Amino acid sequence: MPERRLQAENLHLWRGDRHVLRGVRFCVNSGECLQITGGNGAGKTSLLRTLSGLMYPEEGTISWCGDNIRRDLAAFHADLAYIGHEPPLKPDLTAQENLHYWVGVRRKLSSHEMNQELSRLGADQWGDRPVRTLSAGQKRRVALAGLLLMAAPLWLLDEPTTNLDAEGQRLVGTLIEEHLARGGVAVAAIHHELTISAAFIRRLELSSK
Amino acid sequence: MSTSVIETNSTGTSALEAARLVLARDIRLALRKRGQLVQPLAFFAIVTTLFPLGISPELSRLRDVAPGVLWVAALLSSLLALEFLFRDDAQDGTLEQHVLSGQSLTWLLFAKTVAHWLLTGLPLAVMAPLAGLSLGVPASALTGIVVSVAIGSVGLSLIGSIGAALTLGVKRSGALLSLLTLPLSMPVLIFGARATELAIKGAGFAPPLYLLGALAVLGITLAPLAAAAAVRISLE
Protein backbone atom coordinates (compact mmCIF):
# COMPACT_ATOMS: atom_id res chain seq x y z
CA MET A 1 0.00 0.00 0.00
CA PRO A 2 1.63 3.31 -1.03
CA GLU A 3 2.30 5.68 1.86
CA ARG A 4 0.60 9.04 1.43
CA ARG A 5 0.70 12.04 3.67
CA LEU A 6 -1.01 15.42 3.70
CA GLN A 7 0.83 17.94 5.81
CA ALA A 8 0.10 21.56 6.62
CA GLU A 9 2.70 23.78 8.24
CA ASN A 10 1.92 27.06 9.95
CA LEU A 11 -0.99 28.09 7.70
CA HIS A 12 -2.13 31.70 8.01
CA LEU A 13 -5.02 32.94 5.92
CA TRP A 14 -6.60 36.39 5.89
CA ARG A 15 -9.96 37.28 4.36
CA GLY A 16 -10.02 41.06 4.24
CA ASP A 17 -9.16 42.14 7.78
CA ARG A 18 -10.17 38.80 9.32
CA HIS A 19 -7.39 36.42 10.33
CA VAL A 20 -9.19 33.16 9.50
CA LEU A 21 -6.46 30.56 9.87
CA ARG A 22 -3.86 31.22 12.57
CA GLY A 23 -0.87 28.95 12.28
CA VAL A 24 -2.79 25.77 11.47
CA ARG A 25 -0.56 22.70 11.35
CA PHE A 26 -1.31 18.99 11.08
CA CYS A 27 -0.15 15.83 9.44
CA VAL A 28 -2.49 13.10 8.24
CA ASN A 29 -1.24 9.81 6.80
CA SER A 30 -2.63 6.99 4.67
CA GLY A 31 -5.46 5.29 6.46
CA GLU A 32 -6.31 8.33 8.59
CA CYS A 33 -9.20 10.75 8.57
CA LEU A 34 -8.75 14.25 9.92
CA GLN A 35 -11.98 15.62 11.35
CA ILE A 36 -12.04 19.40 11.42
CA THR A 37 -14.48 20.86 13.90
CA GLY A 38 -15.29 24.39 14.99
CA GLY A 39 -18.19 26.79 15.23
CA ASN A 40 -19.72 28.73 12.36
CA GLY A 41 -17.15 31.03 10.82
CA ALA A 42 -14.22 29.20 12.43
CA GLY A 43 -12.69 28.69 8.99
CA LYS A 44 -13.43 25.01 8.30
CA THR A 45 -14.46 25.61 4.69
CA SER A 46 -11.62 28.09 4.19
CA LEU A 47 -9.16 25.48 5.46
CA LEU A 48 -10.53 22.86 3.07
CA ARG A 49 -10.37 25.31 0.16
CA THR A 50 -6.82 26.23 1.12
CA LEU A 51 -5.84 22.56 1.29
CA SER A 52 -7.38 22.00 -2.14
CA GLY A 53 -5.29 24.80 -3.63
CA LEU A 54 -8.31 26.99 -4.40
CA MET A 55 -7.18 29.59 -1.87
CA TYR A 56 -3.67 30.88 -1.31
CA PRO A 57 -2.56 31.17 2.32
CA GLU A 58 -0.58 34.29 3.19
CA GLU A 59 1.90 32.13 5.04
CA GLY A 60 2.67 28.45 5.42
CA THR A 61 2.97 25.42 3.20
CA ILE A 62 0.90 22.39 2.31
CA SER A 63 2.61 19.26 1.11
CA TRP A 64 1.23 16.07 -0.37
CA CYS A 65 3.43 12.98 -0.31
CA GLY A 66 6.33 15.21 0.70
CA ASP A 67 6.02 17.72 -2.18
CA ASN A 68 4.71 21.25 -1.86
CA ILE A 69 1.35 21.17 -3.65
CA ARG A 70 2.17 24.44 -5.46
CA ARG A 71 5.10 22.80 -7.26
CA ASP A 72 2.75 20.75 -9.45
CA LEU A 73 -0.80 21.76 -8.70
CA ALA A 74 -2.30 19.79 -11.61
CA ALA A 75 -0.71 16.55 -10.37
CA PHE A 76 -1.98 17.25 -6.85
CA HIS A 77 -5.46 17.93 -8.18
CA ALA A 78 -5.42 14.64 -10.07
CA ASP A 79 -5.03 12.95 -6.66
CA LEU A 80 -7.74 15.01 -5.02
CA ALA A 81 -11.53 14.75 -4.80
CA TYR A 82 -13.24 17.73 -3.17
CA ILE A 83 -16.93 17.96 -2.35
CA GLY A 84 -18.06 21.34 -1.07
CA HIS A 85 -21.18 22.37 0.83
CA GLU A 86 -23.36 22.08 -2.26
CA PRO A 87 -23.06 19.09 -4.58
CA PRO A 88 -21.71 20.34 -7.95
CA LEU A 89 -24.68 19.09 -9.92
CA LYS A 90 -26.62 20.70 -12.75
CA PRO A 91 -30.37 20.79 -12.01
CA ASP A 92 -31.34 20.31 -15.67
CA LEU A 93 -29.24 17.18 -16.18
CA THR A 94 -30.04 13.74 -14.81
CA ALA A 95 -27.89 12.25 -12.06
CA GLN A 96 -26.22 9.96 -14.60
CA GLU A 97 -25.53 12.80 -17.03
CA ASN A 98 -24.10 14.89 -14.20
CA LEU A 99 -21.70 12.12 -13.21
CA HIS A 100 -20.79 11.46 -16.84
CA TYR A 101 -19.73 15.07 -17.41
CA TRP A 102 -18.35 15.84 -13.95
CA VAL A 103 -16.25 12.72 -13.40
CA GLY A 104 -15.66 12.14 -17.12
CA VAL A 105 -13.54 15.30 -17.27
CA ARG A 106 -11.08 13.61 -14.87
CA ARG A 107 -11.15 9.99 -15.89
CA LYS A 108 -12.78 7.66 -18.38
CA LEU A 109 -15.98 6.33 -16.95
CA SER A 110 -18.08 3.36 -18.05
CA SER A 111 -21.85 3.27 -17.55
CA HIS A 112 -21.40 0.00 -15.67
CA GLU A 113 -19.09 1.66 -13.14
CA MET A 114 -21.44 4.61 -12.78
CA ASN A 115 -24.53 2.45 -12.24
CA GLN A 116 -22.64 0.27 -9.77
CA GLU A 117 -21.73 3.26 -7.57
CA LEU A 118 -25.17 4.84 -7.91
CA SER A 119 -26.67 1.55 -6.85
CA ARG A 120 -24.27 1.32 -3.91
CA LEU A 121 -25.41 4.75 -2.74
CA GLY A 122 -29.03 3.71 -3.18
CA ALA A 123 -29.34 6.29 -5.95
CA ASP A 124 -29.93 3.97 -8.89
CA GLN A 125 -33.71 4.40 -8.79
CA TRP A 126 -33.46 8.09 -9.56
CA GLY A 127 -30.32 8.06 -11.73
CA ASP A 128 -32.30 9.01 -14.81
CA ARG A 129 -34.27 11.82 -13.18
CA PRO A 130 -33.31 15.48 -13.56
CA VAL A 131 -31.42 16.58 -10.47
CA ARG A 132 -33.85 19.47 -9.91
CA THR A 133 -36.50 16.88 -9.00
CA LEU A 134 -34.32 15.28 -6.31
CA SER A 135 -34.32 16.07 -2.60
CA ALA A 136 -31.23 17.55 -0.94
CA GLY A 137 -30.35 14.15 0.54
CA GLN A 138 -30.73 12.41 -2.82
CA LYS A 139 -28.45 15.02 -4.42
CA ARG A 140 -25.90 14.39 -1.69
CA ARG A 141 -25.96 10.68 -2.49
CA VAL A 142 -25.35 11.40 -6.18
CA ALA A 143 -22.41 13.63 -5.21
CA LEU A 144 -21.02 10.84 -3.03
CA ALA A 145 -21.26 8.49 -6.03
CA GLY A 146 -19.18 11.08 -7.91
CA LEU A 147 -16.67 11.08 -5.08
CA LEU A 148 -16.24 7.30 -5.33
CA LEU A 149 -16.02 7.41 -9.12
CA MET A 150 -13.23 9.99 -9.04
CA ALA A 151 -11.06 7.26 -7.49
CA ALA A 152 -8.77 9.81 -5.87
CA PRO A 153 -6.53 8.97 -2.91
CA LEU A 154 -7.22 12.25 -1.09
CA TRP A 155 -10.77 13.23 -0.13
CA LEU A 156 -11.61 16.70 1.11
CA LEU A 157 -15.19 16.73 2.32
CA ASP A 158 -17.17 19.70 3.55
CA GLU A 159 -20.03 18.52 5.77
CA PRO A 160 -20.37 15.18 3.94
CA THR A 161 -23.39 14.05 5.96
CA THR A 162 -25.47 17.20 5.49
CA ASN A 163 -29.07 16.42 4.47
CA LEU A 164 -28.56 12.68 4.85
CA ASP A 165 -30.78 10.45 6.98
CA ALA A 166 -29.30 8.19 9.67
CA GLU A 167 -28.75 5.37 7.21
CA GLY A 168 -27.05 7.75 4.76
CA GLN A 169 -24.78 9.06 7.51
CA ARG A 170 -23.73 5.51 8.40
CA LEU A 171 -23.07 4.87 4.73
CA VAL A 172 -20.75 7.88 4.55
CA GLY A 173 -18.86 6.44 7.54
CA THR A 174 -18.55 3.09 5.77
CA LEU A 175 -17.35 4.71 2.54
CA ILE A 176 -14.69 6.68 4.39
CA GLU A 177 -13.54 3.61 6.30
CA GLU A 178 -13.22 1.63 3.07
CA HIS A 179 -11.33 4.49 1.48
CA LEU A 180 -8.93 4.60 4.42
CA ALA A 181 -8.52 0.83 4.35
CA ARG A 182 -7.39 1.13 0.73
CA GLY A 183 -4.66 3.55 1.79
CA GLY A 184 -6.59 6.74 1.14
CA VAL A 185 -6.50 9.94 3.17
CA ALA A 186 -9.60 11.91 4.15
CA VAL A 187 -10.10 15.36 5.61
CA ALA A 188 -13.64 16.26 6.59
CA ALA A 189 -15.08 19.45 8.00
CA ILE A 190 -17.94 18.36 10.22
CA HIS A 191 -20.60 19.60 12.59
CA HIS A 192 -21.72 16.10 13.55
CA GLU A 193 -19.31 13.30 14.39
CA LEU A 194 -18.73 10.86 11.53
CA THR A 195 -19.68 7.26 12.22
CA ILE A 196 -16.24 5.79 11.68
CA SER A 197 -13.96 3.83 13.96
CA ALA A 198 -12.02 6.01 16.39
CA ALA A 199 -8.83 4.21 15.36
CA PHE A 200 -8.87 6.03 11.99
CA ILE A 201 -9.65 9.48 13.35
CA ARG A 202 -7.41 12.46 13.98
CA ARG A 203 -8.95 15.70 15.15
CA LEU A 204 -8.37 19.37 14.55
CA GLU A 205 -10.49 22.01 16.26
CA LEU A 206 -10.53 25.50 14.83
CA SER A 207 -11.26 28.39 17.11
CA SER A 208 -13.76 30.98 15.91
CA LYS A 209 -11.98 33.83 17.72
CA MET B 1 -17.23 -3.75 -2.08
CA SER B 2 -16.71 -0.65 -4.15
CA THR B 3 -14.75 -0.95 -7.35
CA SER B 4 -13.12 2.42 -6.69
CA VAL B 5 -9.39 2.43 -7.20
CA ILE B 6 -6.95 4.81 -5.71
CA GLU B 7 -4.45 4.74 -8.54
CA THR B 8 -5.34 7.77 -10.62
CA ASN B 9 -4.31 8.65 -14.17
CA SER B 10 -4.47 5.00 -15.21
CA THR B 11 -7.66 5.82 -17.08
CA GLY B 12 -7.25 9.59 -17.13
CA THR B 13 -9.20 11.64 -19.65
CA SER B 14 -7.17 13.47 -22.31
CA ALA B 15 -7.36 17.27 -22.42
CA LEU B 16 -9.18 17.11 -25.75
CA GLU B 17 -11.75 14.61 -24.47
CA ALA B 18 -12.28 16.71 -21.32
CA ALA B 19 -12.88 19.80 -23.47
CA ARG B 20 -15.28 17.81 -25.67
CA LEU B 21 -17.26 16.75 -22.59
CA VAL B 22 -17.53 20.35 -21.37
CA LEU B 23 -18.67 21.47 -24.82
CA ALA B 24 -21.24 18.65 -25.07
CA ARG B 25 -22.54 19.37 -21.56
CA ASP B 26 -23.01 23.09 -22.24
CA ILE B 27 -24.83 22.42 -25.49
CA ARG B 28 -27.09 19.84 -23.83
CA LEU B 29 -27.85 22.24 -20.97
CA ALA B 30 -28.61 25.09 -23.36
CA LEU B 31 -30.99 22.90 -25.34
CA ARG B 32 -32.84 22.11 -22.10
CA LYS B 33 -33.04 25.80 -21.15
CA ARG B 34 -34.32 27.15 -24.44
CA GLY B 35 -35.36 30.49 -22.94
CA GLN B 36 -31.74 31.50 -22.42
CA LEU B 37 -30.87 30.25 -25.89
CA VAL B 38 -33.62 32.18 -27.67
CA GLN B 39 -33.24 35.47 -25.76
CA PRO B 40 -30.25 36.94 -27.69
CA LEU B 41 -31.65 35.78 -31.03
CA ALA B 42 -35.05 37.32 -30.28
CA PHE B 43 -33.30 40.56 -29.27
CA PHE B 44 -31.34 40.58 -32.55
CA ALA B 45 -34.50 39.97 -34.58
CA ILE B 46 -36.48 42.64 -32.73
CA VAL B 47 -33.80 45.33 -33.03
CA THR B 48 -33.15 44.74 -36.72
CA THR B 49 -36.84 44.61 -37.65
CA LEU B 50 -37.82 47.65 -35.57
CA PHE B 51 -35.17 49.89 -37.11
CA PRO B 52 -36.91 50.23 -40.49
CA LEU B 53 -40.06 51.31 -38.65
CA GLY B 54 -38.15 53.94 -36.73
CA ILE B 55 -36.02 55.37 -39.53
CA SER B 56 -37.76 55.19 -42.86
CA PRO B 57 -39.16 52.52 -45.17
CA GLU B 58 -36.95 53.96 -47.94
CA LEU B 59 -34.63 51.11 -48.98
CA SER B 60 -31.66 53.27 -49.98
CA ARG B 61 -31.61 54.90 -46.52
CA LEU B 62 -31.98 51.58 -44.73
CA ARG B 63 -29.17 50.11 -46.84
CA ASP B 64 -26.87 52.93 -45.68
CA VAL B 65 -27.47 52.24 -42.00
CA ALA B 66 -27.69 48.44 -42.35
CA PRO B 67 -24.02 47.66 -41.50
CA GLY B 68 -24.17 49.68 -38.29
CA VAL B 69 -27.58 48.34 -37.26
CA LEU B 70 -26.64 44.72 -37.94
CA TRP B 71 -23.37 44.91 -36.03
CA VAL B 72 -24.60 46.90 -33.04
CA ALA B 73 -27.51 44.44 -32.74
CA ALA B 74 -25.12 41.47 -33.03
CA LEU B 75 -22.77 42.96 -30.43
CA LEU B 76 -25.54 43.65 -27.92
CA SER B 77 -27.15 40.25 -28.50
CA SER B 78 -23.86 38.51 -27.87
CA LEU B 79 -23.45 40.58 -24.70
CA LEU B 80 -26.88 39.47 -23.45
CA ALA B 81 -25.82 35.84 -23.39
CA LEU B 82 -22.40 36.51 -21.89
CA GLU B 83 -23.68 37.00 -18.37
CA PHE B 84 -24.61 33.29 -18.23
CA LEU B 85 -21.29 32.06 -19.65
CA PHE B 86 -19.66 31.20 -16.29
CA ARG B 87 -22.22 32.38 -13.73
CA ASP B 88 -24.22 29.17 -13.26
CA ASP B 89 -21.05 27.07 -13.15
CA ALA B 90 -19.59 29.36 -10.50
CA GLN B 91 -22.75 29.20 -8.38
CA ASP B 92 -23.19 25.42 -8.42
CA GLY B 93 -19.51 24.58 -7.88
CA THR B 94 -18.84 23.26 -11.39
CA LEU B 95 -16.08 25.81 -12.00
CA GLU B 96 -14.38 24.73 -8.76
CA GLN B 97 -14.50 21.15 -9.97
CA HIS B 98 -12.97 22.24 -13.29
CA VAL B 99 -10.12 23.95 -11.43
CA LEU B 100 -9.60 20.82 -9.29
CA SER B 101 -9.98 18.34 -12.15
CA GLY B 102 -6.27 18.18 -12.91
CA GLN B 103 -7.09 19.28 -16.46
CA SER B 104 -6.01 22.56 -18.03
CA LEU B 105 -8.56 25.17 -16.94
CA THR B 106 -7.62 27.18 -20.05
CA TRP B 107 -8.77 24.31 -22.28
CA LEU B 108 -11.99 23.76 -20.36
CA LEU B 109 -12.91 27.47 -20.48
CA PHE B 110 -12.03 27.58 -24.17
CA ALA B 111 -14.49 24.72 -24.69
CA LYS B 112 -17.15 26.69 -22.81
CA THR B 113 -16.47 29.72 -25.01
CA VAL B 114 -16.75 27.59 -28.15
CA ALA B 115 -20.12 26.36 -26.86
CA HIS B 116 -21.18 29.97 -26.30
CA TRP B 117 -20.23 30.83 -29.89
CA LEU B 118 -22.03 27.78 -31.29
CA LEU B 119 -25.16 28.72 -29.33
CA THR B 120 -25.08 32.48 -29.86
CA GLY B 121 -22.61 33.65 -32.54
CA LEU B 122 -23.36 30.99 -35.13
CA PRO B 123 -27.17 31.35 -34.88
CA LEU B 124 -26.70 35.14 -35.20
CA ALA B 125 -24.72 34.57 -38.40
CA VAL B 126 -27.50 32.33 -39.69
CA MET B 127 -30.13 34.95 -38.82
CA ALA B 128 -28.13 37.86 -40.23
CA PRO B 129 -29.31 37.40 -43.87
CA LEU B 130 -32.96 37.64 -42.78
CA ALA B 131 -32.19 40.77 -40.79
CA GLY B 132 -30.20 42.11 -43.77
CA LEU B 133 -33.10 41.57 -46.15
CA SER B 134 -35.42 43.49 -43.81
CA LEU B 135 -32.92 46.36 -44.04
CA GLY B 136 -32.92 46.37 -47.84
CA VAL B 137 -29.56 44.64 -48.28
CA PRO B 138 -29.14 43.11 -51.77
CA ALA B 139 -29.06 39.32 -51.95
CA SER B 140 -25.54 39.44 -53.42
CA ALA B 141 -24.24 40.87 -50.11
CA LEU B 142 -25.70 38.17 -47.88
CA THR B 143 -22.73 35.78 -48.13
CA GLY B 144 -20.38 38.54 -47.00
CA ILE B 145 -22.66 39.36 -44.09
CA VAL B 146 -22.93 35.75 -42.94
CA VAL B 147 -19.15 35.23 -43.11
CA SER B 148 -18.32 38.51 -41.36
CA VAL B 149 -20.83 37.93 -38.53
CA ALA B 150 -19.65 34.33 -38.14
CA ILE B 151 -15.98 35.35 -37.85
CA GLY B 152 -16.64 38.56 -35.91
CA SER B 153 -18.78 36.77 -33.34
CA VAL B 154 -15.85 34.44 -32.57
CA GLY B 155 -13.94 37.52 -31.44
CA LEU B 156 -16.96 38.79 -29.49
CA SER B 157 -17.36 35.49 -27.62
CA LEU B 158 -13.66 35.35 -26.74
CA ILE B 159 -13.46 38.97 -25.59
CA GLY B 160 -16.68 38.44 -23.67
CA SER B 161 -15.26 35.38 -21.91
CA ILE B 162 -12.60 37.58 -20.30
CA GLY B 163 -15.23 40.08 -19.11
CA ALA B 164 -17.52 37.29 -17.86
CA ALA B 165 -14.65 35.72 -15.90
CA LEU B 166 -13.53 39.05 -14.42
CA THR B 167 -17.04 39.89 -13.19
CA LEU B 168 -17.80 36.44 -11.73
CA GLY B 169 -17.70 37.48 -8.12
CA VAL B 170 -19.63 40.70 -8.67
CA LYS B 171 -23.33 40.95 -7.86
CA ARG B 172 -25.50 42.33 -10.69
CA SER B 173 -22.49 42.22 -12.97
CA GLY B 174 -24.35 43.07 -16.19
CA ALA B 175 -23.41 46.76 -16.28
CA LEU B 176 -19.78 46.13 -15.36
CA LEU B 177 -19.57 43.36 -17.94
CA SER B 178 -20.77 45.79 -20.62
CA LEU B 179 -18.28 48.44 -19.48
CA LEU B 180 -15.41 45.96 -19.70
CA THR B 181 -16.42 44.22 -22.89
CA LEU B 182 -17.74 46.98 -25.13
CA PRO B 183 -14.48 48.99 -25.48
CA LEU B 184 -12.54 45.81 -26.27
CA SER B 185 -15.16 44.84 -28.85
CA MET B 186 -14.85 48.09 -30.83
CA PRO B 187 -12.32 46.73 -33.37
CA VAL B 188 -14.68 43.82 -34.13
CA LEU B 189 -17.58 46.25 -34.54
CA ILE B 190 -15.58 48.56 -36.83
CA PHE B 191 -14.11 45.86 -39.09
CA GLY B 192 -17.35 43.88 -39.11
CA ALA B 193 -19.41 46.90 -40.13
CA ARG B 194 -16.81 47.79 -42.78
CA ALA B 195 -16.89 44.26 -44.26
CA THR B 196 -20.70 44.40 -44.35
CA GLU B 197 -20.66 47.85 -45.97
CA LEU B 198 -18.24 46.71 -48.68
CA ALA B 199 -20.33 43.58 -49.28
CA ILE B 200 -23.46 45.74 -49.72
CA LYS B 201 -21.63 47.99 -52.20
CA GLY B 202 -20.50 44.94 -54.14
CA ALA B 203 -16.81 45.70 -53.47
CA GLY B 204 -14.21 43.23 -52.22
CA PHE B 205 -14.71 42.73 -48.50
CA ALA B 206 -11.73 40.47 -47.86
CA PRO B 207 -9.40 43.03 -46.12
CA PRO B 208 -11.68 43.76 -43.12
CA LEU B 209 -12.53 40.06 -43.01
CA TYR B 210 -8.84 39.23 -42.68
CA LEU B 211 -8.61 41.70 -39.80
CA LEU B 212 -11.63 40.08 -38.14
CA GLY B 213 -9.91 36.72 -38.62
CA ALA B 214 -6.72 38.09 -37.08
CA LEU B 215 -8.67 39.37 -34.08
CA ALA B 216 -10.31 35.95 -33.70
CA VAL B 217 -6.90 34.23 -33.78
CA LEU B 218 -5.53 36.70 -31.25
CA GLY B 219 -8.56 36.03 -29.07
CA ILE B 220 -8.17 32.24 -29.35
CA THR B 221 -4.54 32.60 -28.29
CA LEU B 222 -4.97 34.97 -25.36
CA ALA B 223 -8.57 35.08 -24.14
CA PRO B 224 -8.79 31.55 -22.63
CA LEU B 225 -5.55 32.19 -20.70
CA ALA B 226 -6.86 35.50 -19.37
CA ALA B 227 -10.27 34.00 -18.54
CA ALA B 228 -8.64 31.10 -16.67
CA ALA B 229 -6.52 33.49 -14.61
CA ALA B 230 -9.59 35.61 -13.82
CA VAL B 231 -11.64 32.56 -12.81
CA ARG B 232 -8.90 31.37 -10.44
CA ILE B 233 -8.82 34.80 -8.81
CA SER B 234 -12.58 35.04 -8.48
CA LEU B 235 -12.83 31.57 -6.92
CA GLU B 236 -10.32 32.47 -4.22
pLDDT of A162-185, one tens digit each? 888 888 899 999 999 999 999 999
Q: What is residue A199's predicted lDDT score, i.e. its pLDDT?
A: 77
Residue B36 to residue B24: CA distance in whole angstroms:
17
- Contact B103/A87, CB-based, under 8 Å? no
Residues of chain B with Cβ-Cβ distance to A122 below 8 Å are: none
The predicted structure's pLDDT at residue B1: 38
Decide if B97 and A152 are in contact by the 8 Å CB cutoff: no
The pLDDT assigned to A1 comes to 57
Percent of chain A with pLDDT over 70: 98
Q: What's the whole-number mean pLDDT along residues A78-104?
A: 94
Q: Please list every residue in chain B whose beta carbon sits closer than 8 Å to the beta carbon of residue A107.
A: 8-9, 11-13
Residue A2's pLDDT is what? Answer: 64
- Contact at CB, A86 and B93, closer than 8 angstroms: yes
How does pLDDT run across B197-207, given as a tens digit for each residue? 999 999 999 99
Residue-level pLDDT at B169: 81
Rounded to a whole number of angstroms, the distance from the CA of B29 to the nearest CA of chain A is: 7
By C-alpha distance, which of B229, B9, B2, B219 is closest to B117? B219
Put simply, the answer to whether B12 touches A104 (Cβ < 8 Å) is no
Q: What Å distances lie between residue A109 and A143, A146, B121, B232, CA to CA?
A: 15, 11, 32, 27
* Mean pLDDT (whole number) for A53-77: 94
* pLDDT for residue A208 is more than 80: no
**What was the ipTM of the complex prediction?**
0.92
Name the strand (E) or helix (H) holding B154.
Answer: helix B142-166
| Mutate which: A13, A50, A70, A106, vs B, most B CBs within 10 A | A106
| Nearest residue of chain A to residue B5 (CA atoms) | A151
Whether the CB-CB separation of B127 and B41 falls below 8 Å is answered with: yes
Are B6 and A153 inside 8 Å of each other by CB?
yes
Q: Does the beta-carbon distance from B92 to A179 stay under 8 Å?
A: no
Q: How many CB atoms lie within 10 A of CB B229?
A: 15
Is the pLDDT confidence value at A190 over 80? yes
Cβ of B11 within 8 Å of Cβ of A117? The answer is no
Whether residues B12 and A88 touch (CB distance < 8 A) is answered with no
Please tell me the predicted confidence (pLDDT) of residue B2.
Answer: 43
Average pLDDT, chain A: 91
* E strand or H helix at A14: strand A5-15
* Phi, psi dihedral angles at A179 (to 5 degrees): -65, -45
Q: Which amino acid is at A73?
A: L
Q: Is pLDDT at B9 greater than 60 in this prediction? A: no
A75/B contact by beta carbon, under 8 A: yes
Q: Which residues, 6 or more positions from A100, have their beta carbon under 8 angstroms from its beta carbon?
A: A109, A114, B21
The predicted pLDDT at position A196 comes to 79
pLDDT of residue B180: 92
Q: Residue B3: what pLDDT?
A: 42
Burial track A71-104 (b if 16+ CB lie within 10 A, e otherwise):
eebebbbbbbbbbbebbbbbbbbbbbbbbbbbbb
Residue B196 has pLDDT above 80, yes or no: yes
Cross-chain residue pair B100–A92, CB shorter than 8 Å:
no
Answer whether residue B129 shows pLDDT above 90: yes
Residue-averaged pLDDT of chain B:
91
Q: How far is the C-alpha of B127 from the C-alpha of B133, rounded, in Å?
A: 10
- Higher-pLDDT residue of A29 and B4 is A29
**Does A78 score more than 90 pLDDT?**
yes
Residue B190 pLDDT > 70, yes or no?
A: yes
User: Is residue B16 exposed (0-12), middle (13-18) or buried (19+ Cβ within 10 Å)?
Assistant: exposed
pLDDT tier at B172 (50, 70, 90 boundaries)?
confident
Of A54, A104, A182, the CB nearest to B6: A182
pLDDT at residue B7 in the model: 46
Whether B83 shows a pLDDT value over 90: the answer reads: no
CA distances to A12, A117, A121, B57 from A148, rounded to whole Å, are 31, 7, 10, 64
Find the mean pLDDT for residues A108-119. Answer: 92
Shortest distance between the Cα of A124 and any Cα of chain B, in A, equals: 15
Interface mutation vs chain A, best among B1, B2, B89, most A CBs within 10 Å: B2
The whole-number average pLDDT for the span A77-85 is 93
Across residues A2-10, what is the average pLDDT? 89
